[in-house]
């Protein structure tokens, strides 16, 4: 296999090539950095690229391998969403507020990856503080969709998804608070997983809505997702919501037979709101699962239509509290001119945050204020419980749930500038999963008018292995996950 072919393969192929000494970590990193340089002016998938830092990591990975050949992942490159603190790397969360913040320590996810010798290729672009569905809210400019540069890649982890789809990285990290891994994975035609809440430590991950945020992975296949999930999972006492469990590694169980698996089809998710083109693709993917020996059962998720209103109370409420630390004193941008402390806060926050972030802080402060707390926040928490109950009942009838990721394919840049609520509505199939804390993934399932469509698989708590088995079996039977955007097939090498 020549270098160019190798770069288009995933983690598994790279690991084999590194293991047989066909290629070094430095050669692989250099080649991806060259690709990033070619694509960056157009795609804008990265906020920060630091060639020297990356090559230092790669040199270290090569010596790790030389010292202990058992390090099977050392030298695999990865793009990091710019929300994970990484020592010595500028960590902006897509915000002017943190434009000059160099993280003094590693987040848990970065630490786990570094321990295995992964090489950071750069810091992936994202919506400011992970708020958005299109990556248009980044202070560093929008990311383009590699399948069609006039369209968005999805958000908020749009840079991570675009980088993997365009062949600029074999894998990337992401975070998913209401769909920010699954939706950009679907819209860029790659695989992405959001684990069970509590499976991956949130330590060092810049918080948006702490009771919903989960770190996860983008890659080219379910097999690669499984390998990376095993690296980043695990208990961490530094995150009070991290759960101490000893689950079998996902990668070990990947080949388990899925015949007889009961696949739940939510009857509310295929009606009004779902575009005809996406519906056809998702339904034929489900037919494929049936042909592979799965059994379909209809399930009822009556409360899921309340998920968006509940989420847009809970997430902004938590965000308004989390983002209060960015005041120009302890963290973040400080205004150049102010006459007293109050004005220092006002100006620093006024200048540092973008419009969507301000909107959410306002909404969050409002729903938490005295007199409105009971009417909005408490009520939203009740709805959240009912949504989780729906899923719990559904999982008595089925083993996994299958459905769409998003109601449409990627929309043109600038579609919702004037109407953010329209954009919020696009998260209707992903948000219920975060409210319930469940694991879910998106895998490529076909195309609608040339744009990729994802299939969402949702599992019971802690059943990532089952989800990945199902996705892996689907990818053995189909080749959607191997399709690459023509625009980026000519990158060198």
Catalogue the active-site residues.
Answer: 81, 156, 180
| Residue of 39, 45, 58, 130 that binds ligand GLN (CB under 6 A) | 130
Residue 299 or 319 with smaller CB distance to ligand GLN: 319
Which residue, 17 or 426, is less far from ligand GLN as judged by CB? 426
Q: Cα–Cα–Cα angle for 127, 214, 232, nearest 5°? A: 115
Cα separation, 429 vs 179, whole angstroms: 8
Other beta carbons within 10 angstroms of residue 61's beta carbon come to 27
Nearest residue (CB) to ligand GLN, 183 versus 463? 183
Q: For residues 384 and 368, give the distance between their C-alpha atoms in angstroms, rounded to a whole number.
A: 16
d(CA 28, CA 333): 36
Note whether 179 binds ligand GLN by CB under 6 A.
yes
CB of 426 to ligand GLN, least distance (A): 8
Q: Give the interface segment with ligand GLN, choosing from 109-117, 146-154, 175-183, 299-307 (CB under 6 A).
A: 175-183
Q: Rule CB under 6 A: say whether 315 interacts with ligand GLN.
A: yes
Q: State which residue, 131 or 473, has the beta carbon closest to ligand GLN.
A: 131
- Secondary structure of residue 223 in the 3-state scheme: helix
- Backbone φ and ψ for 252, nearest 5 degrees, come out as -70, -30
- Distance, in Å, from the CA atom of 142 to the CA atom of 156, rounded to the nearest integer, reads 11
Q: What Cα–Cα distance (Å) separates residue 93 from each residue in 56, 131, 227, 279, 419?
A: 24, 10, 26, 34, 23
| Minimum distance of ligand GLN from residue 180's CB (angstroms) | 3
- Strands, DSSP E only, in 337-488? 400-404, 440-448, 451-458
Q: Is 131 in the site for ligand GLN (CB under 6 A)?
A: yes
**CA distances from residue 436 to 4, 18, 419, 432, 456 in whole angstroms, order as listed:** 42, 40, 27, 6, 15
Residue among 344, 343, 348, 355 nearest 333 (CA): 348
Interface segment toward ligand GLN; rule CB under 6 A; list 126-134, 245-253, 300-308, 442-450: 126-134
For ligand GLN, the closer CB: 346 or 356: 356
Closest separation in Å from C-beta 177 to ligand GLN = 4
Applying CB under 6 A, the span of 131-139, 257-265, 450-458, 466-474 interacting with ligand GLN comes to 131-139
Q: Is residue 456 at the binding interface for ligand GLN, with CB under 6 A as the rule?
A: no
428 binds ligand GLN (CB under 6 A): no
Considering only residues 188 to 217 of the shown chain, the ones binding ligand GLN according to CB under 6 A are: 208
How far is residue 160's CA from residue 138's CA, in Å, rounded to a whole number? 13
Structure tokens at 125: 């672009």
Specify whether the CB–CB gap between 311 and 178 falls below 8 A: yes
Please report whether residue 133 would count as binding ligand GLN according to CB under 6 A.
Answer: yes
Least distance in angstroms from the C-beta of 427 to ligand GLN: 5
**Is 176 an interacting residue with respect to ligand GLN (CB under 6 A)?**
yes
For residue 486, give every residue at least 6 positions away whose Cβ sits within 8 Å of its Cβ, in sequence order, or none. Answer: none
* Binding segment (CB under 6 A) for ligand GLN, from list 23-31, 40-48, 173-181, 257-265: 173-181
Q: Does 132 bind ligand GLN (CB under 6 A)?
A: yes
**Interaction site with ligand GLN (CB under 6 A):** 130-133, 156, 176-180, 208, 315, 427
């Amino acid at each position: 296999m020549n270098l160019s072919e190798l770069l288009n393969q995933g983690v598994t192929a790279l690991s084999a090539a590194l293991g047989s000494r066909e290629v070094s970590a430095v050669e692989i990193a250099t080649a991806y950095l060259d690709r990033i340089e070619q694509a960056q002016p157009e795609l804008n998938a990265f906020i920060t690229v630091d060639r020297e830092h990356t090559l230092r990591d790669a040199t270290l990975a090569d010596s790790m391998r030389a010292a202990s050949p058992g390090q099977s992942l050392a030298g695999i490159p990865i793009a990091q969403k710019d929300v994970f603190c990484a020592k010595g790397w500028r960590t902006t969360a897509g915000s002017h507020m943190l434009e000059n913040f160099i993280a003094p320590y590693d987040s848990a996810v970065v630490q786990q990856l570094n321990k295995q010798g992964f090489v950071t290729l750069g810091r992936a672009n994202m919506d400011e503080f992970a708020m958005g569905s299109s990556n248009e809210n980044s202070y560093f400019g929008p990311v383009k969709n590699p399948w069609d540069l006039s369209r968005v890649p999805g958000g908020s982890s749009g840079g991570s998804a675009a980088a993997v789809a365009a062949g600029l990285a074999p894998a990337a990290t992401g975070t998913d608070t209401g769909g920010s891994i699954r939706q950009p994975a679907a819209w860029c035609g790659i695989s992405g997983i959001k684990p069970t809440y509590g499976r991956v430590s949130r330590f060092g991950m810049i918080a948006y809505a702490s009771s919903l945020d989960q770190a996860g992975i983008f890659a080219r296949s379910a097999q690669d997702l499984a390998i990376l999930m095993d690296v980043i999972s695990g208990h961490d006492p530094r995150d009070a919501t991290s759960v101490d469990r000893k689950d079998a590694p996902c990668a070990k169980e990947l080949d388990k037979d899925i015949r007889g698996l009961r696949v739940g089809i939510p009857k509310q998710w295929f009606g009004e709101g779902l575009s005809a083109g996406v519906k056809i693709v998702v339904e034929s993917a489900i037919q494929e699962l049936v042909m592979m020996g799965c059994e379909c059962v209809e399930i009822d998720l009556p409360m899921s239509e309340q998920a968006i209103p509940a989420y847009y109370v809970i997430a902004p409420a938590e965000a308004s509290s989390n983002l209060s630390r960015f005041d120009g004193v302890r963290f973040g941008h400080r205004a150049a001119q102010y006459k007293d402390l109050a004005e220092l806060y006002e100006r620093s926050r006024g200048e540092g945050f973008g419009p969507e972030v301000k909107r959410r802080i306002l909404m969050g402060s409002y729903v938490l204020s005295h007199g409105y707390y009971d009417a909005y926040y408490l009520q939203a928490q009740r709805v959240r419980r009912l949504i989780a109950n729906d899923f719990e009942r559904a999982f008595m009838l089925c083993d996994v749930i299958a459905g769409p990721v998003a109601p449409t394919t990627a929309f043109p840049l600038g579609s919702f500038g004037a109407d953010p609520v329209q954009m919020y509505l696009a998260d209707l199939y992903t948000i219920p999963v975060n409210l319930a804390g469940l694991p879910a993934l998106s895998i490529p399932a076909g195309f609608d008018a040339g744009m990729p469509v994802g299939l969402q698989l949702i599992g019971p708590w802690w059943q990532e292995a089952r989800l990945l088995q199902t996705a892996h079996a689907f990818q053995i039977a189909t080749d959607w996950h191997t399709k690459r955007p023509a625009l980026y097939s000519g990158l060198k090498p």
